[in-house]
Amino acid sequence: MVKVMAVNAGSSSLKFQLINMPSEEVITSGIVERIGQEKGNFEMKYNGQEYQKECPIKDHSVAVQLLLDALVDCKVVEKLSDIDACGHRIVHGGEYFNDSIKVDEDVVAKVEELSELAPLHNPAHIIGYNAFKKALPDVEHVFVFDTAFHQTLDQERYLYPLPYEYYTDLKVRKYGAHGTSHKYVSQTVIEMLGNPKHSRIIVCHLGNGASISAVEDGVCIDTSMGFTPLAGVMMGTRTGDVDPSVMPYLCKKLNKTADEVLEIYNKKSGMLGVSGISSDSRDIENALFKKGDDRALLTSLLYARIVSKYIGSYFVELGGVDVIAFTAGVGENAAYLRRLIIDDCSRALGVHLDEERNNQRSKENRVISSKYSQVEVMVIPTNEEVMIARDTVRILGL
């Protein structure tokens, strides 16, 4: 039995789980938030208890030390040397990494180089890694890349129809995102199917950020996000795919720079922009069913239509589909959106939901399609931290 610390560092936060492997028992989990602000917040769950602390958290080094001190003080571990390894989520691995990897100086340098492609994420990941490395100098570390699962795409699927030297010289191409989640969910579905030799799965990772992937025999062949996490389906505050000509048009009409319009694309669009209500599907659901709000209805129908179009295109790419799997905050909890999406697909794909199963609240992996459906529909709660722990153990041979 080995203890793996799974780390997900954001620009001002640090999520973590300490996991016993290979049993995948979660020993403790929690989050440090508002790093760099006057009042930081630390929450940790362990042994059915909760530990909370509010205090200034200057940087990620302080956050890591706060976490490690709490592990010993709360007797989650007897001593820090009980932690056998650390796995770190890294958003962007570019073309350098098609799998998770043991960390060394060269790996760190490449991740820092790729910060230009993920400026909000990669620098924070490196800060988190350095903090853990300093606090646990004898522990081996593994980087787990969100882009790695999508490195199996063919050139015809990851290239953009731009001058070819923009790819060779500037590395402009589709990279995808949420790969750790897509890998976990597709592997779970394959296990639920009884580990068949052949499988065709469409994973719908629908949260505030959203992406869809086509997975054939456990290998990703296409995904909706592109050069950045802005592309693909409509999201909480992000546009997804938009005609490129809209950008210069809005710049002229609104007298804004490209960066200012891009900010609108990223933070003021999607569900929030269309509804004028919220980026949260729960608020839109309440406005729709309690107030009969017309824009809440429009937002829901537009969202479902865009997702269903991707499902349809991946059905063609896969030559059929065995399972459509929903995951992440919206995918796991918004039953009304799952129903609208599947309704849009039902006539073409012969897929139907069992309404009672779809409306059930559960944190378990489950099938929600009816017995008459030609395609199984599942809800699989994602667990990126477990995937990080699995890869850490595999890479280090623990």
- Specify whether 243 is catalytic: no
- Is residue 329 part of an annotated ligand binding site? yes
Helices (H), the chain: 60-73, 105-113, 122-135, 155-158, 164-170, 179-192, 246-254, 258-267, 270-275, 281-291, 294-318, 328-333, 335-349, 355-359, 384-396
Cis, peptide link before residue 229, omega less than 30° from 0: no
What whole-number distance in Å separates Cα of residue 310 and Cα of residue 140? 40
Task: Give the DSSP letter of residue 197.
Answer: S
Crossing angle (nearest 10°) for helices 294-318 and 281-291: 130
Catalytic residue chosen out of the listed positions 84, 106, 146, 293: 146
Sorted by sequence, the CB contacts under 8 Å of residue 209 that are 6+ apart come out as 177, 178, 229, 235, 236, 238
- Is residue 332 part of an annotated ligand binding site? yes
With contact defined as beta carbons under 8 Å apart, do 267 and 299 qualify? no
- Is residue 215 part of an annotated ligand binding site? no
Helices (H), 87-121: 105-113
- Is residue 122 part of an annotated ligand binding site? no
With contact defined as beta carbons under 8 Å apart, do 219 and 190 qualify? no
- Is residue 208 part of an annotated ligand binding site? yes
- Is residue 8 part of an annotated ligand binding site? yes
- Is residue 282 part of an annotated ligand binding site? yes
SS3 135: helix
- Is residue 236 part of an annotated ligand binding site? no
SS3 202: strand
- Is residue 330 part of an annotated ligand binding site? yes
- Is residue 281 part of an annotated ligand binding site? yes
- Is residue 207 part of an annotated ligand binding site? yes
- Is residue 331 part of an annotated ligand binding site? yes
With contact defined as beta carbons under 8 Å apart, do 312 and 345 qualify? yes
- Is residue 206 part of an annotated ligand binding site? yes
DSSP assignment of 260-279? HHHHHHHHS-HHHHHHSS-S
Sorted by sequence, the CB contacts under 8 Å of residue 359 that are 6+ apart come out as 335
- Is residue 89 part of an annotated ligand binding site? yes
- Residues at the binding site for Mg(2+) are 8, 384
Known binding-site residue numbers for substrate: 89
For the annotated binding site for ATP, the residues are 15, 205-209, 280-282, 329-333
* Binding residue positions: 8, 15, 89, 205-209, 280-282, 329-333, 384
Q: Which residues are catalytic?
A: 146
